[in-house]
Homo-oligomer: A and B are copies of this chain.
């Protein structure tokens, strides 16, 4: 992640034991929060916590909450998120949300406890190959072998996490490396600077933008933050190009006064229409657009045939400087970027549908809100309903591994206690990491959770409808059905300590949202809505 304030990594002093040194090193490098569910192999870390009171350890009931919260924290704090996990199984439980963080290029440092260095050879029950599991998500993996090297290893992990680009770094810490004394200070290293984009690349892309073809600019990563958006919008204004955002941004700044961008849609038929007719596409911090899944007989790429593609700013480069250089090359510094005017949907009325819930969100969304969006199919109307809301941040399901939205809301609320967090959750996704609610209650986080309870895995329903040659039978349908029995989120929230209510009309919902947002601390609102109709055109390519 770029623009990290805490990036200078300080030297650490001689410490009593490894665990203390590790925490001190993390804190001195700017990591002051870790999300955890510890076990016996981490007990020395736990015991050392009170000797470094700057470290806030946040308990989660399940590691998937911890890793998702570290991701959400990093997205909003612009500093690495950190976890403390219990051996291979603890890491395993956190893997899905680490996958999401990896895909989002979010810096996360995992500290994974392991058996003492001499204990694993006896093959005790919790022994497993942690490094192997870690590699699925981590660009950097190391097992610390000596207490004297633990501080250095921790600084290396932080450096790796910061990148650029941001990535997941996993440091495995055997119990004896934690408990032994004699930890030593480590020399700090300057964070790596993002690479500069060559003048040639800038010139080639400036030329492409000037030549009058139908051109789109696809923004991703840090290009979706204010400075990047403003530069991109000047380029768009000066050259008549259209701005798009990647389908699932880690953090999109949007709302009144910011340049609006059209997010690519999830469904390949719809995304293909958005890009239809483009003769040139410029990637800025975004990957080549591709369908989420493959379909028989269909292309994976979403780039129209014959469309020329340029990459302005690859992952490890400085997106903002690249955009500024392009503004300069195009002489666009005085161009007036298009900015989003205020617009609010009409307050919805009557019996609830998913679309009306989205409109109600648009009506109430407060200034400075952080939205964690995992509403999946029920959230189709959210971008339109909220685009003219006061300025806010939009965090999405970056890697497609569901169960991310509630944990990300936990982390975002801890990173930014000054801002209201709204978590928009599909029922199926919420149930993956429902334990998040308890951490919201314990930490009294200012999160309003809205559960879109459509009692189905809606996305699979659409996919099953595609397979029209195979008429789905009872067994197949039962695997998409979240009714029988119906899940009552009001009870689940109550059991986990979060005040909750279910609303049945749009008017009740708007009122409940306003009250929840006004009242600090966590709240959950459950709405039961019908599944949306399939958005795939019947005559479409699927």
The residue among A130, A474, A497 with the most chain B CB atoms within 10 A of its own CB is A497
Stretch in contact with the other chain, from A221-229, A277-285, A366-374, A479-487: A479-487
Complex CA–CA separation, A99 to B129 (angstroms): 10
Q: Contact string, A465-508, partner B, CB cutoff 8 A, digits 1/0?
A: 00100101111101111101111111110111100000000000
Residues of B within 8 A of A125 (CB): 103, 247-248, 292, 398-400
Complex CA–CA separation, A497 to B431 (angstroms): 14
Complex CA–CA separation, A291 to B175 (angstroms): 14
Q: A491 to nearest B CB, angstroms?
A: 3
Partner of A287, one of B43, B123, B287, B432: B123
What bracket does the count of chain A residues touching chain B fall in?
A: 35 or more
The residue among A46, A292, A481 with the most chain B CB atoms within 10 A of its own CB is A46
Contact between chains at B459 and A40 (CB < 8 Å): yes
Q: Is A198 an interface residue (CB 8 A)?
A: no
Interface residues of A in 422-475 (CB under 8 A from B): 428, 431-432, 434-435, 438, 441-442, 459-460, 463-464, 467, 470, 472-475
Complex CA–CA separation, A118 to B102 (angstroms): 22
Contact between chains at A99 and B93 (CB < 8 Å): no
Partner of A291, one of B49, B103, B124: B124
Contact between chains at B122 and A472 (CB < 8 Å): no
Q: Is A59 an interface residue (CB 8 A)?
A: yes
Q: 10 interchain pairs (CB within 8 A)?
A: A46-B460, A50-B473, A50-B474, A88-B136, A89-B401, A93-B403, A128-B137, A129-B136, A487-B496, A491-B492
Q: A103 to nearest B CB, angstroms?
A: 5
Copies held by the complex:
2
Q: Is A110 an interface residue (CB 8 A)?
A: no
Q: Is A92 an interface residue (CB 8 A)?
A: yes
Q: Is A540 an interface residue (CB 8 A)?
A: no
Contact between chains at A470 and B40 (CB < 8 Å): no
Contact between chains at A136 and B133 (CB < 8 Å): yes
Contact between chains at B431 and A44 (CB < 8 Å): no
Contact between chains at A294 and B459 (CB < 8 Å): no
Q: Is A182 an interface residue (CB 8 A)?
A: no
Complex CA–CA separation, A129 to B434 (angstroms): 27
Interface residues of A in 114-140 (CB under 8 A from B): 115-116, 118-119, 122-126, 128-130, 132-133, 135-137
Contact between chains at B126 and A176 (CB < 8 Å): no
Contact between chains at A119 and B47 (CB < 8 Å): no
Partner of A294, one of B56, B118, B287, B400: B118
Contact between chains at B132 and A136 (CB < 8 Å): yes
Q: A477 to nearest B CB, angstroms?
A: 9
Contact between chains at B93 and A432 (CB < 8 Å): yes
Complex CA–CA separation, A331 to B356 (angstroms): 81
Interface residues of A in 32-56 (CB under 8 A from B): 36, 38-41, 43-44, 46-51, 53, 55-56
Residues of B within 8 A of A491 (CB): 491-492, 494-495
Residues of B within 8 A of A118 (CB): 294, 300
A41-B293, A292-B124, A490-B495 as given contacts; A64 in contact with B93, CB under 8 Å: yes
Closest 4 CB pairs of A and B: A50-B473, A485-B497, A92-B95, A491-B495
Residues of B within 8 A of A38 (CB): 460, 479
